[in-house]
Amino acid sequence: MQITDPSGVDGSSLELLVNGVSYTESSPGFSFTEPNLVFVPQSDYADGDTVEISLLHARDRYYNDIAEPVSWYFISDQSGPYGSEFTPPPGTITNDTQIDIGLRIQDRFTQVDSNSILLRITTTRGEAVYDLTSPALVWSGNFLTFYPESIGYYFIPGDTVSVSVIRANDMPDLCDPNPFQASTGRWSFYLADEDTLPPRFRNFQPESTFGNIGFNISCDIYDESGIFNDTTGSGVYLIWDNDGELTLTYNIVRMDSVGGSGFVVDDSTCRGCTGARFITTTPVPPQRDDANFVYIVHACDNDIDLDNPDDRSCGFSPLQHIRILNTEGPMLELISPYPGAYSSCPRQPIRILLYDPQGVQRSRIELYVAGQRYDLRSPELSYDDSILTFTPHANLPEGPIIFRISDVYDMLGNVTPGKGWQFISDQRPPEISNLSPSPGSEVPDFSPEISFSIADSLSGLDTSSISVIVNSRGFRVGDDGVSFEGNTFTINTASCGLVLGDGAVVNVSISARDRCDPAFCSPNALNFSYMFRMSYIPCERKPNPITPNGDGKNDYVVFRFPNMRQEWGRAKIEIYELNGKKVRTLTSSTGKDDDWAWDGFDANGEPCKQGLYVYLIKVGNEVVCSGTIGVVR
């Protein structure tokens, strides 16, 4: 402020009151250079503060003070204009491609400088900035409105429109204008597409067709915007395959509208829709009877708002199936038992594959088993999931079982001639005979052979299954001392080292299976046990006397003694003349019966003279037998 007086102003007398605080010449920020009093506050005023000022004292050089305080005020405006009342509201979804855009712009303390206003509109096509020189932008009563229609501007359906005020200043009395509060002037809205759904499909044909001819596929296609029918193939086309899926491999066929097939749909599902019937332009080739034929149809609507092809909505029909009808009768194959099989099951089931894509005439199914007729009314016969099953309710007879299915028909009348098969029912285990030694007998042999005959008259004998256990020792075909020739199984006890002692009870267990297929039931098994007893061997020598002259008669004497079967390794036979002279000692290295024979010769191989000789049979140091032998020459 300026303070003047003809006699001059006393600066030390000045007192300024600002918002109730007194400031004088000695206060910071207070300065007076006549005639100018300047006060610079040491801190900022708050936005919107009303600053009240009073000059309380000012004296001239003669000490005359002002008659009364001089007071005034001003307002601190530090914020720019702000936006509100957006139209359309933020986040709006609208179909109006020329919707008006507006907002209210105002300032708390001053007016808005309309000439400073700049409005920016951003879409996928780019951005445009408008001021009040544009006919599209109107400022009225602090409300700014953008009228797209006034300049022929359209928003694109599916586009997001972003609006922002990039400049709008206020009009303060002092200092530079405050800029627009940008955060209060930004928003966006969305232009919805009035037709965002792809076309609809209905009335697919055919539902089935014969596999030996080509065929066309057709359906109705409709949409609110009509159907885009592009003859280049990018509009309506069909994707098909015959393996049940369209992911890995597929075929494409173009479809075209059928002339004069246009129609209108106007119901709750589609208001005012137009469409036509479309058909493949080339036939689908003939298909196999077992083909799993599937297809979908692709189509786009004709929605091209603002001539924008990207506005079209495209989609696929639901997955469709066509049943391929065969011209042959049902498939007929035996599953089990296979022809000629041997089964040990008393009630062997019979399973037959009976399949046709069109289905089988169940009422005409007939099965004959062992001369007996069965149909699906019979409790023994069932048909489920392409499998015909016969389950006997009583045991089958043994021997060949002949069964036959009559002619079978599919639902179209195609016939497959009947077929017959046979299998062999074998319910008996192998049979055993000719047991040696015979059960319960007493065996005097030094090393008897154990043998028997075994055979199976139907499926045959599984020789690898033959197992014989003699007193806990097992034997099989191929073991040492075991032979199997013809149908006879033999254990040579001497060859295999099986010692059967005096008086021993010999238990023999025999098991074997026949050759029935275990895929059906377990093969028939034989399990047979019996016993015989080894006799006690007395002291014995024969013949006596001997005549060792080489004529093959009574040329040697054979000795036998108790427990010789098991004690042969410790035994010896000593031959003496009557005068006590030893002429020969017999021992055994094999335990065979023949080792205990004396041929009338001494230890040097010289023939002993005619006469009477004494023998001693010793086991260890014990004499178990003794006597005399005569030699006659």
Per-residue pLDDT, 324: 87
Q: Domain limits of the chain?
A: 9-75, 82-191, 200-325, 331-425, 431-534, 540-631
- pLDDT tens digits, 259-295: 887 888 887 778 778 999 999 999 999 998 779 999 9
Task: Compute the distance between CA of residue 195 and CA of residue 329 in angstroms, rounded to an integer.
Answer: 51
- Which CATH number applies to 540-631? 2.60.40.10
d(Cα 583, Cα 615) in Å, to the nearest integer? 10
Of the pLDDT bands very low, low, confident and very high (cuts 50, 70, 90), residue 518 is very high
Place of tokens 């005012």: 272
Contact, 322 vs 354, CB < 8 A?
Answer: no
Tokens of 48: 């919107």
pLDDT of 479-503, one tens digit each?
Answer: 999 999 999 999 999 888 888 888 8
CB 82 within 8 A of CB 181: yes
Task: Specify the pLDDT at position 385.
Answer: 85
Q: Give the pLDDT score at 195.
A: 64
Residue 233, pLDDT score: 61
The encoded tokens of residue 573 equal 């036979």
- Please tell me the predicted confidence (pLDDT) of residue 268: 76
**Tokens read off for 14:** 């000045």
From residue 526, how far is each of 353, 359, 431 by CA, in Å? 35, 47, 8
Give the chain's count of helices (H) and strands (E): 1, 52
Token duo for residue 565: 């079967």
Q: Which residues of 559-579 are buried (b: 16+ CB within 10 A; e: fewer)?
A: bbbbbbbebbeebebbbeeee
In this predicted structure, the answer to whether residue 78 has a pLDDT above a threshold of 80 is yes
How high does pLDDT run on average in the chain? 92
Q: How far apart are the first and last CA of the chain?
A: 182
Residue 52 has pLDDT above 80, yes or no: yes
Q: So what's the architecture of 431-534 in CATH?
A: Sandwich (2.60)
Task: Please give, one letter per residue, the 3-state secondary structure of 566-591.
Answer: HHHHHEEEEEEECCCCEEEEECCCCC
Residue 342 pLDDT > 90: yes
Over 70: is that where the pLDDT of 305 sits? no
Q: What is the pLDDT of residue 399?
A: 96
Alpha carbon 460 to its chain centroid, in Å, reads 45
The answer to whether 167 and 116 have CB atoms below 8 angstroms apart is yes
Say if 82-191 and 431-534 have the same CATH topology: yes
SS3 call for 151: helix
Over residues 441-464, the mean pLDDT reads 92
Distance of CA 185 to the CA centre of its chain: 56
Confidence of residue 139 (pLDDT cuts 50, 70, 90): very high
pLDDT at 308: 67
More confident residue, 128 or 444: 128
Task: Judge whether residue 151 has pLDDT over 90.
Answer: yes
Report domain 200-325's class: mainly beta
Write out the CATH class of domain 331-425: mainly beta
Task: Give the pTM.
Answer: 0.46
Average pLDDT over residues 89-116: 94
Report whether 458 contacts 514 (CB < 8 A).
yes
* Distance separating alpha carbons of residues 106 and 140, to the nearest angstrom: 12
Which CATH number applies to 82-191: 1.10.3720.10, 2.60.120.590, 3.90.320.10, 2.60.40.1220?
2.60.40.1220
Name the residue with higher pLDDT: 59 or 157.
Answer: 59
- Report the candidate in 232, 593, 275 with the shortest Cα–Cα distance to residue 448: 593
CA distance 406 to 404: 7
Would you say residue 211 has pLDDT above 90?
A: no
Q: Which pLDDT does position 165 carry in this prediction?
A: 97
DSSP per position, 187-222:
EEEEE--S--SPPEEEEEE-SEEETTS-B--EEEEE
- Write out the H or E segment, with its range, that includes residue 565: helix 564-567
Say which amino acid occupies 578.
L
Residues 305, 147, 189, 140: what is their CA dihedral angle, to the nearest 10 degrees?
A: -170
Q: What contacts 218, CB < 8 A, 6 or more positions away? A: 204, 205, 255, 258, 277, 278, 279, 280
Mean pLDDT of 331-360: 94
- Amino acid of residue 379: P
pLDDT of residue 304: 75
**What order do you get walking across the sheet with 186-191 strand by strand?**
93-94, 186-191, 160-170, 112-123, 126-130
Q: What is the pLDDT of residue 17?
A: 97
pLDDT for res 95: 82
pLDDT (0 to 100) of residue 306: 59
